[in-house]
Amino acid sequence: MLVRRCPWRSVQLHQFWRPRQIHTREAIYDKRWPDWEVVIGIEVHAQIKSRRKLFSESFTSRPGETPNTTVSAFDSAFPGTLPTLNPKCVELGVRTALALNSKVQPHSAFDRKHYFYSDLPAGYQITQRYAPLASGGYIKLSKGDVSVGITQIQLEQDTAKSTFDGLRRTSLIDLNRAGSGLMEIVSEPDMRSPEETADYVRTLQAVLRCVGSSDGNMEQGSFRCDVNVSVNKHGHAHGTRCEIKNLNSVKFMMIAITSEVFRHIELLESGRSVPQDTRGFDENKAETFNLRSKADSPDYRYMPDPNIPPLLLSEEYIETIRKSMPDLPDATRARLLNLGLSERDTDVLMAIDSGREVGFDGELGKGAVYYFDSLAQQRDPRVVVNWMTHELIGQLTARKETFSDNPVSVEQLGELIDLVQNGKITGTSGKLLLKHIIANRSSSAPSVLAQELSLEAVSEGDSASTRAWCVEAIEALPDEAEAVRQGNPRVLNKLVGKVMQLSRGRADAQTARVVLEDVLRR
Amino acid sequence: MSVGVYPFRSCGSSCTRSFATSNLRRSAAIHAEHAQLLNKSTNALVSFPTKNHNPNPHGPLSHLTVAVKDNICTTHLPTTCSSSMLRHFTSPFDATAVELLKAKGATIIGKANCDEFGMGSLNVNSIHGPVVNPYQSPDEKHIPRAEREQRSAGGSSGGSAAAVAAGLCDAALGTDTGGSVRLPASYCGITGLKPSYGLISRWGVVSFADSLDCVGVFGKSMDTVKTVFDSISSYDPKDPTAATPHTRERAKALAESLLSTLDANLSDPDLSSLRIGIPQEYFPSELNITIVTAVRKVLERLSSLGAQLIPVSLPSTPYALSAYYVIASAEASSNLARYDGVQYGTRSPLLPGVDKSKPGNVYAHTRSAGFGVEVQKRILLGTYALTADAFDNYFLQAQRVRQRIKADFDSAFRVPNAQLSNPSPNPDGVDILLHPSAIRSAPRLDSDAVSGLGPYLQDVMTVPASLAGLPAVSVPAGSAADGWPVGVSIVGQWGSDELVMCVGKVIEGTTNEDDSDPNFAFDFAFGSIVDAVGRIDAT
């Protein structure tokens, strides 16, 4: 009865005395370390892409912001301040949990983790030690039918940033980041190689970006990885793990894991044991180094935060979020293929889409897929994707621009495609028109531009013009005309090309072909 | 010294004098000057505004002068928490309670002395020095002030209580974590309310133990206390532990039926529907017997007005003090971690040769110099209670005791707890509990009672209501054998603050009457309580 009245207690027992579940996977033989199995798990700290901080009204800061400008009294731990949970952060956490097939807990709570450091103004970090936001879940990697288990997802505060000024021998503190929301996403130790780990990180980044919960940028520090590595002989129990902290790119993470694996193997093969360390990574030497051993690990004196009431999430709330969630990459991919798009076009579209900017507070960025979807309403998706991937993106790439620079509105490209599809302009004219819009950053309607540029197609009734261009083409290319007359139909294409050139693309190639054949037969 | 501001009360009877009439006669400027003079003898106030600027001179509280405990943030005066750590600290914002008072036109006359960060029961742990109880016993009336015995005003809100008792102001804000309003009110012979947890916003109240801290109100009369309480008890979205309007409404509805039968403004109110519980555990062996006599007189009067006196038992009470000190110290160790001299507050320069690369060295230096002995003691105790090895046996165990104490109260009261989702009414329960506020009258500042374990024992009567978050008011109830004031506490179900104040007002009215009817007959219930007290004394 008493235990039931201390809700965090039962959770604590469940969490910490549970035997570590390590999913058994078929042995993978890696030629770098043929006798050894490598076991890897990751803790990711992803900054929540919310406009405001987790417990205060101040704005979250962007990289490059003037230090100590987005700081409230609460962020700097002034006496008398109290936290107020930002519901947007909860929503983005729930979105993430749903995207990772994790069970959102109807009851979660916040705890304080204590340690003294200058980047932690309150002397404690508010986190979710005993009752996390969500537990369980998995994520499917992109290669080789591998599923990585998710242990739990918790919300917590970010710390301030401290920079050591070696010259002045001073630590500089920037409180802009202090109190921003983080999601700690803990994986099961389900990965077996540095490559799988990289795949996990990239897949997770894509999911977070897709649901808009984080921009997942490792280099800028909005997505930070602590990696746990252990090795064991095939068929043996798992080895002692070491944690490598603060890896800030996928490349360095892979190098760090590889070097750590070799270090463990070397220790074990020389008959020594691996001590349970927390390690840093030296990018220049490409090796890890000891930060602290297990004996030195601090006692964080976790305590349920007495200010923040338990977070109770109703089934209804979770369902509302589930329904309003953007499609996950897998679902989007399936949907696009279902529309009749080729694998290649789908890949191109999604690759471009993944580079879109993630909006604040879960506002969905308008990327390439959104652009495609808007265009494909009441239009043939295959035609649309052709125009997008071949013409629009092709021309942008030729100008060394990216999709985010795209000046062509959905309405413009839509009208342009319709003009071509309805025979108002030819495909060639359409491409020319698109080039014109991009080059001149024109916002005029394509129909108006077509008129201004005299790009309107010759109408079917206007056979006189086509006939005139055909006659002109035959006169210009007498040898080719003769060859056709002699029964070489392939040369006809050259004459059609000439007609198109003479008409500046306005003539319809098919009509020109018929007329040419007719003129030559006479 | 004009008659209207005579600071020292000769007995409990002067407390019903209306603050409005006493203060309208003098201007604010004279008052401020006067206040500083009076303050010298009590050391109640520690800072005063340089000019008396009232931004809202026509507000409903424009006649009211208020002192604010020095751990409640104000922008126009420093907030030192009586700690060397915050000696020069001025907050960038006003506490919500202060903001509300200012908006309604109240004049803040100064910041009140207190125990450092609210830790203490006697207001002796303060960089500003101890507060001297302004009460003057009838025998000492003719002795010069400097030669009178100096007694503690109680703590931790001793400055707030003393300021009101000395007539420096009409009302004062204090904070009550384990009795810090009720105890000084009792020692100083005034009224002190600790409202239900969550009714008054804690935004701007410097945290000692978040789950226990409440803003409390002092006044010489229940009317003053109620006026101030009503002005500052409102939902504040800035306080995550604030009771929501919905819960407030619910509690109000639950208390409605009983309240409508009581009219405390009558000279002979009919209390026949009121069931008063006398908790037997609140009469421990340490209780001074002359205090029992004073409480007995109060009960006699209430009984004569028709109230039913019912003995009740709150069996977990003996564990409350230990649980309180574990929880409060654990939370304090966490809340006070921020005072490291990095962002604000005092920073002690390092001794030469100290290895600055270890944060521990730098922090320990400032914290050892900036915190007083009592605060350090509690931080160490709380830190220990939260370590991985001790967490289960201390912190969690204390939380379990706290749940039992809450359950004890819930099963004693007739009205269910409005905070519970499925409250079940308890027709046999009582409406309020009544017990002595303290085990004794104010101790002398130079006595043994202010050192050793004494100060901790002072909290024994007050911490259960704090642990359960219940409203409790201490009202003057005559004097002990030494001539010094005695207070009785009325404790109600969560959210029944109005009922508690209403009964307080009845007691206030009856205490001021001449001594009780000698022919008062003990009823059966009261007789059994006295028996119970006797048993406890014997063990």
Please indicate, yes or no, if residue B60 is contained in any of the structural domains: yes
Are B472 and B462 in contact by the 8 Å Cβ rule? The answer is yes
Contacts of A306 in chain B (CB under 8 A): 209-211, 241, 331
Q: Across the interface, which of B334, B344, B383 has its CB nearest the CB of A78?
A: B344
DSSP letters along B401-452, please? HHHHHHHHHHHHBSSPPTTSSS----TTSBSEEEEESSSSSPPBTTSGGGST
Q: What is the pLDDT of residues A100-156, one digit of tens each?
A: 999 999 999 999 999 999 899 999 999 999 999 999 999 999 888 899 999 999 999
Three-state SS annotation for B181-201: CHHHHHHHCCEEEECCCCCCC
Q: How many domains does chain B have?
A: 2
The distance from CA A419 to its chain's CA centroid, rounded to whole angstroms, is 35
What confidence category does residue B523 fall into, taking pLDDT thresholds of 50, 70 and 90? very low
pLDDT > 90: percent of chain B: 69
pLDDT > 70: percent of chain B: 87
Letter string b/e over residues B429-440, b meaning 16 or more CB atoms within 10 A of that residue's CB = bbbbbbbbbbbb
Q: Taking CA B93 as the corner, what is the angle to CA B90 and CA B96, rounded to the nearest 5 degrees?
A: 125
Pick among A8, A78, A165 to test the B interface (most B CBs inside 10 A) = A78
The distance from CA B146 to its chain's CA centroid, rounded to whole angstroms, is 28
Are B460 and B439 in contact by the 8 Å Cβ rule? The answer is yes
Structure tokens at B292: 């029992």
**Rg of chain B over all Cα atoms, to the nearest angstrom:** 22
Q: What is the pLDDT of residues A408-426, one digit of tens each?
A: 999 999 999 999 888 888 8
Please indicate, yes or no, if residue B405 is contained in any of the structural domains: no
Residue B222 shares a structural domain with residue B341: no
What confidence category does residue A459 fall into, taking pLDDT thresholds of 50, 70 and 90? low
Q: What is the pLDDT of residue B525?
A: 37
Pick among A71, A82, A116 to test the B interface (most B CBs inside 10 A) = A82
Pick among A120, A303, A308, A314 to test the B interface (most B CBs inside 10 A) = A303
Domain boundary among the residues B206, B229, B246 is at B246
Q: What is the pLDDT of residues A52-82, one digit of tens each?
A: 999 999 999 988 899 999 999 999 999 999 9
Beta strands in B206-341 (DSSP E): 214-219, 275-279, 308-312
Structure tokens at B489: 């506490």
Select from B293, B312, B279 the least CA-distant residue to B464. B279
Say how far apart CA A113 and CA A120 lie, in whole Å.
11
Select from A89, A174, A95 the least CA-distant residue to A126. A89
Q: What CATH number does residue B239 fall under?
A: 3.90.1300.10
Pick among A55, A110, A116, A292 to test the B interface (most B CBs inside 10 A) = A116
Letter string b/e over residues A331-344, b meaning 16 or more CB atoms within 10 A of that residue's CB = ebbeebeebebeee
Q: Across the interface, which of B72, B95, B338 has its CB nearest the CB of A123?
A: B338
- Contacts of A405-410 with CB under 8 Å at 24 or more apart are A406/A371, A407/A437, A407/A438, A407/A441, A407/A442, A408/A434, A408/A437, A408/A438, A409/A443, A410/A371, A410/A374, A410/A375
Give me the catalytic one of B84, B180, B437, B489.
Answer: B180
Contacts with B319 (C-beta within 8 Å, 6 or more apart), sequence order: B401, B404, B405
- The mean pLDDT of B71-89, rounded to a whole number, is 97
Q: What is the pLDDT of residue A487?
A: 81
Q: Across the interface, which of B206, B241, B383 has its CB nearest the CB of A79?
A: B206
Range ranked top by mean pLDDT from A355-369, B38-52, B331-345: B331-345
Q: Across the interface, which of A117, A299, A307 has its CB nearest the CB of B241?
A: A307
B515 CA to chain A: closest CA distance, Å? 45
Higher confidence at residue A409 or residue A294? A409
Q: Which letter does DSSP use for residue A21 in this model?
A: -
B385 CA to chain A: closest CA distance, Å? 9
Contacts of B89 in chain A (CB under 8 A): 79
| Residue A95 pLDDT > 80 | yes
pLDDT > 90: percent of chain A: 58
Contacts of A123 in chain B (CB under 8 A): 334, 336-338, 340
Contacts of A308 in chain B (CB under 8 A): 240
Q: What is the pLDDT of residues A231-256, one digit of tens each?
A: 999 989 999 999 999 898 999 999 99
Look up B51 and say whether it is catalytic: no
CB pairs under 8 A between A and B: 104
Residue B105 shares a structural domain with residue B198: yes
Give me the catalytic one of B22, B47, B69, B437.
Answer: B69
Q: Which residues does A contribute to its contact with B (CB < 8 Å)?
A: 2, 5-6, 9, 73, 76-85, 112, 114, 116-118, 121-124, 173, 299, 301-303, 306-309
Q: Taking CA B222 as the corner, what is the angle to CA B221 and CA B228, rounded to the nearest 5 degrees?
A: 100
| Residue A470 pLDDT > 90 | no
Three-state SS annotation for B247-274: HHHHHHHHHHHHHCCCCCCCCCCCCCCC
Look up B156 and say whether it is catalytic: yes
Q: Which residue of B has its CA nearest to A171?
A: B357
Q: Is the peptide bond before B156 cis (omega within 30 degrees of 0)?
A: yes
A48 CA to chain B: closest CA distance, Å? 21
Coil, helix or strand for A238?
Answer: coil
Say how far apart CA A212 and CA A413 lie, in whole Å.
27
Task: Note down the domain range covering B374.
Answer: 323-393
What confidence category does residue A229 fall into, taking pLDDT thresholds of 50, 70 and 90? very high
> Could you tell me the pTM of the whole model?
0.85
B427 CA to chain A: closest CA distance, Å? 25
Residue B242 shares a structural domain with residue B360: no
Q: What is the pLDDT of residue A482?
A: 83
Which residues, in sequence order, are bridge partners of residue A174? A161
Residue B116 shares a structural domain with residue B224: yes
B390 CA to chain A: closest CA distance, Å? 10
Say how far apart CA A157 and CA A175 lie, in whole Å.
12
Structure tokens at A10: 């039962």
Q: What is the pLDDT of residue A22?
A: 54
Which conformational region is residue A352 in: left (phi greater than 0), alpha (psi within -120 to 50 degrees), or beta?
A: alpha
Residue with tokens 């035959």: A474
Q: What is the pLDDT of residue A248?
A: 85
Higher confidence at residue A191 or residue A8? A191
The distance from CA A512 to its chain's CA centroid, rounded to whole angstroms, is 48
* Domain at A463-521: CATH architecture: Orthogonal Bundle (1.10)
Give me the catalytic one of B152, B156, B201, B316.
Answer: B156
Q: Which residue of B has its CA nearest to A308?
A: B240
The distance from CA B135 to its chain's CA centroid, rounded to whole angstroms, is 17
Domain boundary among the residues B332, B366, B393 is at B393
Is the Cα dihedral B517, B520, B525, B530 positive or negative? Answer: positive
Domain boundary among the residues B337, B361, B393 is at B393
Are B472 and B489 in contact by the 8 Å Cβ rule? The answer is yes
- The mean pLDDT of B127-132, rounded to a whole number, is 96
Q: What is the pLDDT of residues B316-372, one digit of tens each?
A: 999 999 999 999 999 999 999 999 988 888 888 888 888 877 778 888 989 999 999
Total length of chain B: 539
Say how far apart CA B15 and CA B4 lie, in whole Å.
13
Contacts of B387 in chain A (CB under 8 A): 299, 301
Say how far apart CA B434 and CA B499 lie, in whole Å.
13
What confidence category does residue B35 fall into, taking pLDDT thresholds of 50, 70 and 90? low
Residue B333 shares a structural domain with residue B211: no
Q: Which residue of A has its CA nearest to B117?
A: A79
Say how far apart CA A405 and CA A371 lie, in whole Å.
13
Residue B327 shares a structural domain with residue B224: no
Domain ranges of chain A: 33-312, 326-452, 463-521
Distances (CA, A) of A299 to A244, A278, A295: 19, 15, 11
Residue B36 shares a structural domain with residue B152: yes
Q: Across the interface, which of B211, B239, B344 has its CB nearest the CB of A306?
A: B211
Name which of A476-490, B254-268, B363-377, B517-531 the model is least confident about.
Answer: B517-531
Are A492 and A513 in contact by the 8 Å Cβ rule? The answer is yes
Are B504 and B432 in contact by the 8 Å Cβ rule? The answer is no
The kind and range of the H/E element at B328 are helix B317-335
At residue A87, φ and ψ (nearest 5 deg) are: -65, -25
Residue with tokens 């909860």: A90
Residue B232 shares a structural domain with residue B86: yes
Contacts of B204 in chain A (CB under 8 A): 80
Say how far apart CA B399 and CA B319 lie, in whole Å.
11
Say how far apart CA A311 and CA A325 lie, in whole Å.
21
HSE, side-chain direction, 13 A CA sphere, residue B404: 19
Q: What is the pLDDT of residue B113?
A: 98
Torsion of CA B464, B431, B408, A3, to 10 degrees: -100
Are B348 and B373 in contact by the 8 Å Cβ rule? The answer is no
A190 CA to chain B: closest CA distance, Å? 29
Taking CB atoms and an 8 Å limit, are A80 and B342 in contact across chains?
no
- The mean pLDDT of B409-422, rounded to a whole number, is 92
Are A76 and B197 in contact by the 8 Å Cβ rule? The answer is no
- The mean pLDDT of A325-337, rounded to a whole number, is 88
Residue B217 shares a structural domain with residue B79: yes
Please indicate, yes or no, if residue B518 is contained in any of the structural domains: no
Please indicate, yes or no, if residue B78 is contained in any of the structural domains: yes
Average per-residue pLDDT for chain A: 89
Residue B212 shares a structural domain with residue B360: no
Taking CB atoms and an 8 Å limit, are A76 and B343 in contact across chains?
yes
Contacts of B386 in chain A (CB under 8 A): 114, 301-303
